[in-house]
Each structure stands twice: as C-alpha cells, then as structure tokens.
Amino acid sequence: MTQSLRPGSREPAFLLAPGLFFLLIAFFFPTLQLLAQSVIAVGSEAGRLTLEHYAKAFSDDFYAGIAFRTFKLSIIITAICLLIGFPLAVAMSRAGRGVRTLLILIIVLPLMTSVVIRTFGWLVILGPGGVLSWTLNALGLIDNSVSLMHTETGIVIAMVQVLLPFLVLTTLGSLNQIPKSLEEAARVMGAGFFRGIRHVTLPMSVPGLASGSVLVFALSISSFITPSLVGGVRLPVVAGSIYQQMTGSFDWGFGAALSVLLLIATLVLIVPYMVLTSRMGGR
C-alpha cells in the first residue's frame, strides 16, 4: 500500500523531477518538433507556415497506394495474430506449470531477439533457394525454386512471427484474470468444451484481445525494418517511405508530414487502447 503524505511534503516532487524533466526535453519536445516541421515550408518560402507537405501526401496516388498497402497488410497481420494467438493463449493458461514456462520461453525468446535478426532468419527461409524452397522440393511438392521474397505473403509471414508475442502476452494477462470457477461452473452445468470457450472464455478475454490487436495493428503500421527487408523497394510501406524521405532524399518536411499522419492513425487506435487497459486495472 501507498503511504499518505504529510501536507506539503515535497518528496514525490524531488523523486519525479529528474525523470519528468528528461521526458519533457527528450521525448515531448522532439515529438512537437516533428509536428512543427511538418507545417514549415522549405525553399524560397522557408520558415513560413504551410500545408504543402500534407497536400503532397494527399495528392500523390503513389502515396495513397503505399498507405492502402500498409493498412491492408496490417489488418491481415492483426487478423492472423488473433487467429493463432487466442488458442495459443488459452492453451498456455490451461497448461501445467512446466509446459507453461516452456511456452512462455518460446514466446519471449523471439520477442527479446532483435527484429533485425528475426528478419534475417526470414530472408534465409523465404529467399530464392532458401529453406522453404528446399523443404518443398524435398517433400516433392514442387520441382523448382520458389521465393516469397518481395511478396506481400512473405511480409505477412514474417510480421506475424514478429508481432504474435504482443497479442499472446496481452491475451494471457486477461485470461489469467478469469476465475477458474467460472469455467468449471460452465462444465458442471453441462456446457461442452467448445460451448465453454465460446460463452465463457472468449467473452471474458475480449479486453485482452482488443488491446492486444490494437497494439499489434499500431506496431504493424509503423514498422519498417521487416517490411523493407522482406518486401524490398517494390513493396514500400508508409514507415519505410518515411525512412527513405528522412535518410535518403532528406525531404524532412514531407517525411514529417507522413509521420504526423502515421501518428494520427496510431493515436486513433491507442486512445481506445488506453481506455480499455485502464478499465482493466492498468498494466
């Protein structure tokens, strides 16, 4: 439990000050700088306020295509994460202690490995003459080389592996809050396995599934390392083209405008997420 303070105690203020000051300078200020940069003109009109960067983002069909691809892929990735993640989380919540620890290791170990390294693994698997191609040949399913590199299927396969742990862990948190007695009660009252899942487990894990999928979607629309390496230049996504604008073409105003649009898309998702999680008691 927390302790009540004598009136006028400055103790928490002293403890919080260094961290808050740091966040203000190093986190909130850069984010504001990004917003500012997106509405400041460059070139002959330098310094003037302008919406030209946004106009460029909206008028160019090329960027509309990129935005469409990013959203489409993120929806598919989130849906597949839900399909795989929910049964996995249910299995984890019901497994014995040993199996449970093993499963958590299987989920956490990839999560804690650098995204660059996991993507590297997928490049070797999906690439021409890679593991997938070799396995399919060995099984006699195909008799030539296949490659999922530079395909949307390839991006989805790699991204689901990268993001699945976020959905599983969030859902597991919400499953652990379901009293065991509820599921038992359903059984005793004659509900079969699937009815128990459908009418008790699934509805009660909705907060976890919802916040997990919002997290996966938000991470998905803003990731660039995996889509850029697997998809290559032929299949650009929003985050990848922002990286390109910032470090390749140095069009910072435009890069900033694209980032602000991405930020807005993310916030639209995150706000309900925060409401949900705070209703769940906060994590």
Partner 1 sequence: MTKATPRAVVWAAIFFIAAVAIYMLVPLLIVVASSLSTSEFLVFPPPGLSLRWYGEILNSDAYLSAGWTSLKLALITVVVSLSLGTPAAIALSRFRFRGRSVISSLFLSPLLLPSLIFAIGLLMVFSRYGDGPSFAGLVIGHTVITLPYVIRTVSANLADLDPHLDEAARIMGARWWQRYFLVILPQCKTGMAAGGFFVFNISFDDAVVALFMRAPNVETLPMRIYSTLEFSPNPSVAAVSTVMIAMTIVLVMLLNRIFGLSKIV
**In the complex with partner 1, which residue's Cβ is closer, 62 or 264?**
264
**In the complex with partner 1, which residue's Cβ is closer, 19 or 61?**
19
What does the H/E/C string look like for 169-189? HHHHHHHCCCCHHHHHHHHHC
Q: Is 26 in the site for partner 1 (CB under 8 A)?
A: yes
CB of 102 to partner 1, least distance (A): 9
Stretch that binds partner 1, among 43-51, 53-61, 147-155, 252-260 (CB under 8 A): 252-260
CA angle 215, 223, 257 (to 5 degrees): 100
Helix locations, 95-179, DSSP H: 97-111, 115-126, 131-138, 152-175
Q: Is 193 in the site for partner 1 (CB under 8 A)?
A: yes
Q: Is 15 in the site for partner 1 (CB under 8 A)?
A: yes
The answer to whether residues 213 and 167 touch, using CB atoms and an 8 Å cutoff, is yes
CB of 24 to partner 1, least distance (A): 9
Residues 112-151 contacting partner 1, CB under 8 A: 112-125, 127, 129-131, 134
**In the complex with partner 1, which residue's Cβ is closer, 61 or 141?**
141
Q: Is 75 in the site for partner 1 (CB under 8 A)?
A: no
**In the complex with partner 1, which residue's Cβ is closer, 61 or 117?**
117
Q: What are phi and psi of 143, to 5 degrees?
A: -130, 30
Nearest Cα residue to 54 out of 32, 31, 38, 71:
38
C-alpha span between 70 and 215 (Å, rounded): 15
Nearest Cα residue to 50 out of 62, 63, 36, 60:
36
CB of 53 to partner 1, least distance (A): 13
Q: Is 249 in the site for partner 1 (CB under 8 A)?
A: no
**In the complex with partner 1, which residue's Cβ is closer, 2 or 44?**
2
